[in-house]
């Protein structure tokens, strides 16, 4: 898949991490039904590889479905076998190079300018600013875009509706949203409430996309 194009088009990456595998699968499918096109299942969730495998069967072969918290080469290989077609990392490590070798585009976690420079030779397709709130929020992202105007930045960590709007206005290509979107749905909580949150967040990113195109 073309991860760079998908991030620029859809502008929202949902991050699913749950303690209940059945609920996590339902959460992925609910998000997909609501129109969230980019979904990541963190490998730190319960039975995450099985969640990816089962969700892939339900979604079909072509729908974007990522594996998150890919730390090692073994993680990358396991994610690929389970059916992930992109990988997300919290930092620079062996998982990036192996995922790239396997044909999985990588959203690589960085925080500093030095890490941004190091990410591209490893095979990163786009850059995840993590943890975004602790790094300095939208102001920090805006500052990074000065020396790195052509990089695709995706802030992750503490991103709710208001923060999503601010990051997109500051030049983020997309935003990654975990608990403010998923809530307790992947732990067995309400899928109906998840749908409500998904619709609200999609409204935010779609308005931002339209404003960007208009300018």
DSSP secondary structure string, 90-159?
SSSSHHHHHHHHTT--EEEEE-SHHHHHHHHHHTEEEEEETTHHHHTHHHHHHHHTTT-TTS-EEEBSS-
User: Quick one: pLDDT at residue 135?
Assistant: 87
- The pLDDT confidence band at residue 209, using thresholds 50, 70 and 90, is low
Per the structure, the count of domains in the chain is 1
pLDDT digits (tens, 9 = 90+) for 38-57: 999 999 999 999 999 999 99
Stretch 173-194: mean pLDDT, rounded?
Answer: 98
Stretch 128-156: mean pLDDT, rounded?
Answer: 95
Q: Is the pLDDT reported for residue 64 higher than 80?
A: yes
Active site residues: 40, 128
Round to whole Å and give the CA distance between 28 and 47: 14
pLDDT digits (tens, 9 = 90+) for 66-88: 999 999 999 999 999 999 999 99
Q: Count of alpha carbons within 13 Å of 33, Cβ hemisphere only? A: 13
Domain CATH for 106: 3.20.20.70
Range of the domain at 82: 3-214
Beta bridge partners of 16: 41
């Amino acid at each position: 898949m073309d991860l760079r194009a998908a991030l620029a088009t859809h502008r929202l990456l949902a991050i699913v991490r749950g303690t209940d595998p059945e609920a996590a699968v339902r959460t992925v499918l609910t998000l997909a039904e609501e129109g969230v096109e980019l979904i990541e299942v963190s490998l730190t969730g319960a039975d995450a590889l099985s969640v990816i495998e089962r969700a892939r069967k339900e979604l079909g072969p072509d729908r974007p479905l990522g594996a998150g918290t890919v730390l090692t080469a073994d993680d990358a290989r396991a994610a690929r076998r389970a059916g992930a077609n992109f990988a997300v990392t919290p930092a620079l490590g062996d998982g990036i190079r192996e995922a790239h070798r396997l044909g999985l585009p990588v959203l690589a976690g960085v925080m500093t300018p030095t890490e941004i420079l190091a990410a591209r030779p490893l095979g990163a397709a786009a850059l995840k600013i993590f943890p975004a709130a602790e790094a300095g929020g939208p102001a920090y992202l805006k500052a990074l875009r000065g020396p790195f105007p052509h990089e695709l930045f995706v802030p992750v960590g503490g991103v709710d509706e208001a923060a999503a709007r601010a990051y997109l206005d500051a030049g983020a290509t997309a935003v990654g949203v975990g608990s403010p979107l998923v809530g307790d749905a992947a732990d067995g909580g309400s899928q109906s409430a998840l749908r409500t949150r998904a619709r609200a967040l999609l409204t935010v990113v779609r308005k931002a996309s339209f404003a960007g195109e208009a300018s």
